[in-house]
Amino acid sequence: MKIAVVGTGYVGLVTGVSLSEIGHQVWCIDIDTEKIEMLKKGKSPIYEPGLSELMQKNIAQNRLTFTTKHSEGFQGADVIYIAVGTPENEDGSANLTYVEDVALKIVELVTQDTIVVIKSTVPVGTNNRIQDLINQHKERDLRIEIVSNPEFLKEGTAIYDSFHGDRIVIGASSKYAFKILEEINKPFGIPIFQTDIRSAEMIKYAANAFLATKISFINEIANICERVEADVEEVARGIGMDQRIGNKFLKAGIGYGGSCFPKDTKALLKIAGVVDYDFELLKGVIMVNKNQQELLLQKLNNRFDTLKDKRIAILGLAFKPNTDDMREAASIVITEELVNQGANVVVYDPVAMENAKKVLVPSIKYASSVEEALQEAEVALILTEWDEIKKIDIESFRKMKTPIVFDGRNCFDLESLQKSGIEYHSIGRPVVK
């Protein structure tokens, strides 16, 4: 099948590469000329394990092509995937401008019957609105049918998830569309869940809101654990053995970030608000997360009279490990506040430093290794649980000017730090001194 994928961000590029890997002829389209130039040379503009290799392989086998011209990509396409961004508007709702722009391009350029698959995360009712928009503008007698196929990949394991996901959700309104989507996706060997379009749209928001709730829940439990001298890691293990709860997504820390949970939870509040429903639980989830992102700052301010002129090393900047994505990363809020309080901040991340330079306050220093960041540091903050950071030899902390560590991701066993001479603060666990 010839497939066009519009948008070559985290979702579009991974989708395009994965579809080419299972044998489809894929054209990836983006308006960002710099990105497309890089992609044509076989270079991935994003860091995602396994992506570059798979991309180069499929380019070499002539199944994967990149272009900035929608007309070129759409020509003869059986299916067009829309995977452009749906960022947050100022009021928290989803910005659908990019999706609508692509819909209008489809109306303008497509000359054959086509299925249009919306992969971008869009509020309930959007697929129907886009269908109406296409129907209104369509001059020729074409069959252009919209299908909702929300994406569940996780940055950092996106390629793995494409081939081993838990389910593929397809919301459609005709047997024909279900059949085509089933045919496309069958080689992935992942269970396909067919449903109506509105439910498919809602599944995406409900899934992200539920996962965000799990995180905020365990973080609140962690905050209580600290006050009652319990250990949240033990508590998470203990409750996770109950299969109704499950042991995933119960990692206490400094909250969620990234391009999805923050914006999708807010967008779901908006969706609920439009139908006069006050989603109180979700409001709590969002508020807890905001406070949690600032927890290390509170802990620091309780521990020290002032942070002025203190050399603080920050280890990990990306919103989570194995990605270079800095969107809504806790490091943004934390570095800004530390600089405001007069601290000398030195940061290190194995992959996200280039992206970090675009969003972090300018007055911080970038180190080229963990050791360099820790040199002369009076405090170390761990914000992302990269393997490289989890594997730090604790001797490295002992070489700091003063070995005081605030770990926002519980990277180390408390036992390994006992009697080490390192002062270690983590989340939901007793302080080790």
Binding residues for substrate: 152-155, 204, 249-253, 257, 320
Instruction: Report the C-alpha gap between 50 and 159 in whole angstroms.
Output: 7
What is the closest distance, in whole angstroms, from the C-beta atom of residue 26 to ligand NAD in the complex? 14
What is the closest distance, in whole angstroms, from the C-beta atom of residue 258 to ligand NAD in the complex? 7
Residue nearest ligand NAD, Cβ-based: 9
Whether the CB-CB separation of 255 and 292 falls below 8 Å is answered with: yes
Q: Which is nearer to ligand NAD, 207 or 394 (CB)?
A: 207
Residue of 156, 153, 165 lying closest to 189 (CA atoms): 165
What is the closest distance, in whole angstroms, from the C-beta atom of residue 198 to ligand NAD in the complex? 17
Whether the CB-CB separation of 245 and 218 falls below 8 Å is answered with: no
C-alpha distances (whole Å) from 430 to each of 42, 63, 225, 302 are: 48, 54, 8, 15
Catalytic annotation present for 260: yes
Backbone phi, psi, residue 366, to 5°: -110, 125
Residue 73 touching ligand NAD (CB under 6 A): no
Whether the CB-CB separation of 386 and 349 falls below 8 Å is answered with: yes
Residue 359 touching ligand NAD (CB under 6 A): no
Residue 332 touching ligand NAD (CB under 6 A): no
Residue 65 touching ligand NAD (CB under 6 A): no
Whether the CB-CB separation of 16 and 26 falls below 8 Å is answered with: yes
Residue 123 touching ligand NAD (CB under 6 A): no
Residue 300, both tokens? 């620091």
Annotated binding site: 30, 35, 86, 121, 152-155, 204, 249-253, 257, 263, 320, 327
Residue 3 touching ligand NAD (CB under 6 A): no
Residue 109 touching ligand NAD (CB under 6 A): no
Single residue of 18, 86, 162, 293 touching ligand NAD by CB under 6 A: 86
Q: Which of 28, 225, 260, 411 is catalytic?
A: 260
Residue span binding ligand NAD (CB under 6 A) among the ranges 10-18, 231-239, 333-341, 400-408: 10-18
Instruction: Report the C-alpha gap between 309 and 331 in whole angstroms.
Output: 19
Residue of 162, 185, 181, 163 lying closest to 171 (CA atoms): 181
Residue 149 touching ligand NAD (CB under 6 A): no
Residue 238, both tokens? 């203990």
Catalytic residues: 260
